[in-house]
Amino acid sequence: MSADSVWLGLRTLVLDRHDRRAEVTAALGLSFVRVKALRMVADQPLTMRALAERLATDPPYVTVMVADLVARGLVTREPHPDDRRARLVTITPAGASAAAEADRILGTAPEPLRALDAADLATLSRIVTRLLSHP
Protein backbone atom coordinates (compact mmCIF):
# COMPACT_ATOMS: atom_id res chain seq x y z
CA MET A 1 0.00 0.00 0.00
CA SER A 2 1.38 3.42 -0.95
CA ALA A 3 1.07 6.75 0.81
CA ASP A 4 -0.87 7.99 -2.24
CA SER A 5 -3.50 5.26 -1.89
CA VAL A 6 -3.87 5.97 1.84
CA TRP A 7 -4.23 9.67 1.07
CA LEU A 8 -6.90 8.93 -1.53
CA GLY A 9 -8.76 6.84 1.01
CA LEU A 10 -8.64 9.62 3.59
CA ARG A 11 -9.85 12.18 1.05
CA THR A 12 -12.69 9.88 0.03
CA LEU A 13 -13.76 9.39 3.64
CA VAL A 14 -13.66 13.07 4.56
CA LEU A 15 -14.70 14.80 1.35
CA ASP A 16 -16.97 12.29 -0.37
CA ARG A 17 -18.58 9.95 2.12
CA HIS A 18 -18.75 12.15 5.21
CA ASP A 19 -18.62 15.71 3.91
CA ARG A 20 -20.38 18.00 6.39
CA ARG A 21 -20.22 21.16 4.29
CA ALA A 22 -23.80 20.85 3.03
CA GLU A 23 -25.07 20.22 6.55
CA VAL A 24 -23.30 23.24 8.02
CA THR A 25 -24.35 25.57 5.18
CA ALA A 26 -27.98 24.48 5.53
CA ALA A 27 -27.91 24.92 9.31
CA LEU A 28 -26.41 28.41 9.14
CA GLY A 29 -27.87 29.62 5.84
CA LEU A 30 -24.41 30.66 4.67
CA SER A 31 -22.11 29.53 1.88
CA PHE A 32 -19.24 27.38 3.09
CA VAL A 33 -16.65 30.07 2.38
CA ARG A 34 -18.63 32.45 4.60
CA VAL A 35 -18.70 29.74 7.29
CA LYS A 36 -14.91 29.43 6.96
CA ALA A 37 -14.51 33.20 7.27
CA LEU A 38 -16.78 33.30 10.30
CA ARG A 39 -14.82 30.51 12.01
CA MET A 40 -11.52 32.29 11.29
CA VAL A 41 -12.76 35.57 12.74
CA ALA A 42 -14.17 33.70 15.75
CA ASP A 43 -10.61 32.64 16.56
CA GLN A 44 -9.33 36.22 16.45
CA PRO A 45 -10.19 39.53 14.81
CA LEU A 46 -8.59 39.81 11.36
CA THR A 47 -7.98 42.58 8.91
CA MET A 48 -9.76 42.30 5.60
CA ARG A 49 -6.40 41.66 3.93
CA ALA A 50 -5.46 38.90 6.39
CA LEU A 51 -8.86 37.28 5.91
CA ALA A 52 -8.42 37.35 2.12
CA GLU A 53 -4.99 35.74 2.47
CA ARG A 54 -6.25 33.00 4.79
CA LEU A 55 -9.17 32.25 2.50
CA ALA A 56 -6.87 32.37 -0.55
CA THR A 57 -9.27 34.69 -2.34
CA ASP A 58 -9.18 38.22 -3.66
CA PRO A 59 -9.93 41.26 -1.47
CA PRO A 60 -13.01 42.46 -3.42
CA TYR A 61 -14.71 39.10 -2.82
CA VAL A 62 -13.87 39.29 0.89
CA THR A 63 -15.43 42.76 0.97
CA VAL A 64 -18.68 41.29 -0.41
CA MET A 65 -18.58 38.37 2.03
CA VAL A 66 -17.86 40.54 5.04
CA ALA A 67 -20.61 43.00 4.05
CA ASP A 68 -23.05 40.07 4.04
CA LEU A 69 -21.82 38.84 7.43
CA VAL A 70 -22.16 42.39 8.82
CA ALA A 71 -25.70 42.67 7.44
CA ARG A 72 -26.58 39.41 9.20
CA GLY A 73 -25.17 40.71 12.48
CA LEU A 74 -22.45 38.04 12.65
CA VAL A 75 -19.39 40.30 12.46
CA THR A 76 -18.46 43.96 12.68
CA ARG A 77 -16.07 45.79 10.37
CA GLU A 78 -14.36 48.76 11.99
CA PRO A 79 -11.24 50.83 11.33
CA HIS A 80 -8.15 49.09 12.68
CA PRO A 81 -7.03 50.87 15.89
CA ASP A 82 -3.38 51.00 14.77
CA ASP A 83 -3.73 51.40 10.99
CA ARG A 84 -6.40 53.73 9.64
CA ARG A 85 -6.04 52.22 6.17
CA ALA A 86 -7.05 48.75 7.40
CA ARG A 87 -10.45 47.43 8.47
CA LEU A 88 -10.71 44.94 11.33
CA VAL A 89 -13.35 42.20 11.19
CA THR A 90 -14.54 41.09 14.64
CA ILE A 91 -17.05 38.43 15.65
CA THR A 92 -20.32 39.42 17.35
CA PRO A 93 -22.09 37.29 19.97
CA ALA A 94 -24.47 36.00 17.26
CA GLY A 95 -21.47 35.23 15.05
CA ALA A 96 -19.72 33.39 17.89
CA SER A 97 -22.84 31.29 18.38
CA ALA A 98 -23.02 30.49 14.64
CA ALA A 99 -19.30 29.65 14.55
CA ALA A 100 -19.74 27.34 17.55
CA GLU A 101 -22.61 25.58 15.76
CA ALA A 102 -20.43 25.17 12.67
CA ASP A 103 -17.65 23.74 14.82
CA ARG A 104 -20.10 21.32 16.44
CA ILE A 105 -21.39 20.08 13.08
CA LEU A 106 -17.96 19.86 11.46
CA GLY A 107 -16.41 18.31 14.57
CA THR A 108 -18.90 15.46 14.95
CA ALA A 109 -17.20 12.23 13.95
CA PRO A 110 -18.96 10.06 11.38
CA GLU A 111 -20.40 6.74 12.54
CA PRO A 112 -17.62 4.52 11.06
CA LEU A 113 -15.05 6.40 13.13
CA ARG A 114 -17.22 6.27 16.24
CA ALA A 115 -17.60 2.51 15.73
CA LEU A 116 -13.86 1.82 15.96
CA ASP A 117 -12.77 -0.03 19.07
CA ALA A 118 -10.62 1.79 21.61
CA ALA A 119 -7.34 0.25 20.39
CA ASP A 120 -7.94 1.19 16.74
CA LEU A 121 -9.08 4.66 17.72
CA ALA A 122 -5.95 5.14 19.85
CA THR A 123 -3.74 3.97 16.95
CA LEU A 124 -5.48 6.30 14.51
CA SER A 125 -5.23 9.17 16.98
CA ARG A 126 -1.50 8.58 17.38
CA ILE A 127 -1.03 8.56 13.58
CA VAL A 128 -3.13 11.69 13.01
CA THR A 129 -1.29 13.52 15.80
CA ARG A 130 2.02 12.57 14.23
CA LEU A 131 0.89 13.73 10.79
CA LEU A 132 -0.39 17.03 12.18
CA SER A 133 2.92 17.70 13.91
CA HIS A 134 4.65 18.04 10.52
CA PRO A 135 4.12 21.28 8.60
Rounded CA-CA distance 22/32 in Å is 8
Which residues, including other chains, have CB under 8 Å from residue 106's CB and lie 6 or more apart? 20, 24
CATH of 19-109, one of 3.40.50.920, 3.10.100.10, 1.10.10.10, 3.50.50.60: 1.10.10.10
Residue 62 has pLDDT above 90, yes or no: yes
110 secondary structure, DSSP code: P
> What residue type is 17 in one-letter code?
R
Q: Where are the domains of the chain?
A: 19-109
pLDDT exceeds cutoff 90 at 25: yes
Burial class for 103, CB neighbours closer than 10 Å (0-12, 13-18, 19+): middle
Query: What pTM, to 2 d.p., does this model score?
Result: 0.84
Residue 135: the pLDDT is 77
pLDDT in tens, 82-133: 888 889 999 999 999 999 999 999 999 999 999 999 999 999 999 999 999 9
d(C-alpha 99, C-alpha 74), whole Å: 9
pLDDT at 114: 92
pLDDT at 109: 92
What pLDDT does residue 134 have?
86
